[in-house]
Amino acid sequence: MNNTPSDIPYRRLSGFYFLYFALLGCIAPFWGLYLQYRSFSALEIGSLMAAFAGVRIVAPNLWAWWAGYFSSPISMVRVSGLMTAVCFSAVWWANSFVAMLLVMVAYGFFWAAMLPQYETITMQSLKNRIDDYSRIRVWGSLGFIVVVLALGWLFEQVGIQWLPTMMLLVMVLILLNSLLFRSGRFRTRKAASDDQTFLTQVMQRPVLIFIVMTILLQVSHGAYYTFFSIYLEAAGYSKTGIGFLWSLGVFAEVILFWQFHRLMHWLSWRGWILLSLAITAIRWLMIAEFIDVLAILLLAQVMHAFSFGVMHAVAMRYVQHYFSAETQARGQALYSSIGFGLGGAIGAWGCGLLWNSLSGDQVFIISAFVALIALLISWAGLRPDE
């Protein structure tokens, strides 16, 4: 039974998360394969994905600053949704590295505006009821899983060249979904700005250690997010199998999020960080050494529950604990832009640089060492009671 209050646009909010992460389900597993189909080299693919990740360093902060010029968050979502689709539609004419770079940076810049604004809309609708939020947010993971499985099967039938068409369709659906909301219902909130307080909070030792650890963690994910599908295809896996393996990782993440409140008291937050980083390093080694052993690969994908799920849950705790209510939004933006943006960009570019000169298994071994460096920094830098 749906116990969500009747004044909350539950289906429309859930629909956005489903569609937004469905689009991510098009990009993460299949975009590298599509770029390979378009005859881009490994270095070019790595550089393109690095630029796409790098947009997340700047875009969220710029859009947060521009929010005051829009009448409501949904107005910003509509503008960014339209421009995402318009910019992406040029992909069919992007026949050079520079042209594809411009397309990816342009649509990525506008796409980066949507999720933070919808998060604002959702929390305004729910009046910060976190339990109801989790019921809506889970549709994002379901969208990712459904689309990855469906596209894996579809591309076996018609070929990866249909990926941009599927992505543009999802973008249009996101735009149409935004038109279902009443603009006047939501308002833009200006965040309180105290640069000195925010800087003081950032300079706390646990926060600095956590930022460095998060950057290294995302660097270690570079090979996974950029070349995992290419690595699997080279090892003989079908696109259906590739889609299943990606969806298994996200399914494990969903189960973890669902049950983590029952497990979190087992360890300190530092303990969860150290355990998850160790498991992440082991995961990359398993992928490196046993890419052709399906049972081990399945286990490695289940470990995504730790390398992403637990680490994201811990990150939310750090932002909540070390930043005041007035600066938590900026703390969240810092975590996203520096960790996923900078760390993701370095990881994608570095792996693109190494992929042709080294074997795929060697690149994943390097990823494991990066995760171990993050483990050592966290072990030395975080207090046992954190």
Per-residue pLDDT of the chain (386 residues; tens, 9 = 90+): 444 444 567 788 888 889 999 999 999 899 999 999 999 999 999 999 999 988 888 887 777 677 667 767 777 888 888 999 999 999 999 999 999 999 999 999 998 878 777 776 776 677 655 556 667 778 888 999 999 999 999 999 999 999 999 999 999 999 998 888 765 554 555 544 566 677 777 777 777 888 888 899 999 999 998 899 999 999 999 999 999 999 999 898 888 877 776 777 788 888 888 999 999 999 999 999 999 999 999 999 999 988 888 887 777 677 767 776 666 666 766 777 777 788 888 988 999 889 888 888 999 999 999 999 999 998 988 876 66
* Domain extents in the chain: 11-188, 191-386
User: What CATH class is the domain 191-386?
Assistant: mainly alpha
d(CA 313, CA 261): 10
Measured distance CA(73)–CA(95) in Å, rounded:
35
By the 8 A CB rule, do 117 and 206 touch? no
Note whether 254 and 138 are within 8 A (CB). Answer: yes
What is the chain's alpha carbon radius of gyration, rounded to the nearest angstrom? 20
CA 104 – CA 345 distance, rounded (Å) = 13
The topology under which CATH files domain 11-188 is Growth Hormone; Chain: A; (1.20.1250)
Q: At what angle do helices 205-220 and 311-322 cross, to 10 degrees?
A: 160
Q: What's the pTM value of the predicted model, to 2 decimals?
A: 0.82
Closest CA to 343 of 60, 9, 53: 53
309 DSSP assignment? I
Least Cα distance to 145 among 299, 290, 301, 316 occurs for 301
Whether 11-188 shares its CATH topology with 191-386 is answered yes
Q: How far apart are CA 313 and CA 332, in angstroms?
A: 12
Work out the number of other CB atoms within 10 angstroms of the CB of residue 321. 13
